[in-house]
């Protein structure tokens, strides 16, 4: 039974395909959606050196909030129950952590994201998520998916 879906997003067009797919599945199963964007902690050194407070207020965190809110609005518009989360860390690690903590039944993510390099079969975040140890299923939304 699918009651709760984790939807990681990086705000890219490709991840918006996953948003649309998740909305459709949530409607069919009466599930809720938890939208998550992870700010890569490796950006910390670029923007604010080691100051964690400054990083929390940085453009990286601000844009993650924007992506999450954009997805939240799309989902709300369709009448699906939605919650949101922004985390800082290694994206694939945080995605699986959030999935376990929130006890979701399914993770839905795009095959590609912001980089969108089609020569790679899967983007590195998706690749890492499917290789991590968890018993939560992962559904990968590929380009040209029919919804």
CB-based contacts of 142, cutoff 8 Å, min separation 6: 111
Nearer to ligand ATP, 1 or 119 (CB): 119
Nearest to 128 by CA among 40, 66, 35: 40
Residues in the chain: 147
Return the residue of 20, 65, 97, 114 that touches ligand ATP, per CB under 6 A. Answer: 114
Minimum distance of ligand ATP from residue 33's CB (angstroms): 13
Kindly state whether residue 117 participates in binding ligand ATP, applying the rule CB under 6 A. Answer: yes
CB 72 within 8 A of CB 84: yes
Minimum distance of Mn ion from residue 41's CB (angstroms): 15
Nearest to 75 by CA among 7, 131, 12: 7
Minimum distance of ligand ATP from residue 93's CB (angstroms): 11
In this chain, which stretch among 6-14, 22-30, 69-77, 98-106 interacts with ligand ATP, using CB under 6 A? 6-14
Angle at 17 between CA 7 and CA 6, to 5 degrees: 10
Kindly state whether residue 18 participates in binding ligand ATP, applying the rule CB under 6 A. Answer: yes
List of residues contacting ligand ATP (CB under 6 A):
8-10, 14-15, 18, 36-38, 40, 91, 109-110, 112-117, 123-126
């Amino acid at each position: 039974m699918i009651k709760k879906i984790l939807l990681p997003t990086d705000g890219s067009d490709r991840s918006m395909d996953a948003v649309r797919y998740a909305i459709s599945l949530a409607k069919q199963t009466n599930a809720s959606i938890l939208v998550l964007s992870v700010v890569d902690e490796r950006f910390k050194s670029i923007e604010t050196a080691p100051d964690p407070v400054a990083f929390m207020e940085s453009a990286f965190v601000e844009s993650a909030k924007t992506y999450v809110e954009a997805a939240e609005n799309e989902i709300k518009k369709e009448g699906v129950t939605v919650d949101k989360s922004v985390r800082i860390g290694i994206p694939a690690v945080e995605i699986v952590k959030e999935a376990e903590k929130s006890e979701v039944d399914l993770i839905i993510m795009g095959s590609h994201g912001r980089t969108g390099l089609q020569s790679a079969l899967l983007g590195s975040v998706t690749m890492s998520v499917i290789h991590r140890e968890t018993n939560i299923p992962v559904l990968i939304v590929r380009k040209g998916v029919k919804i």
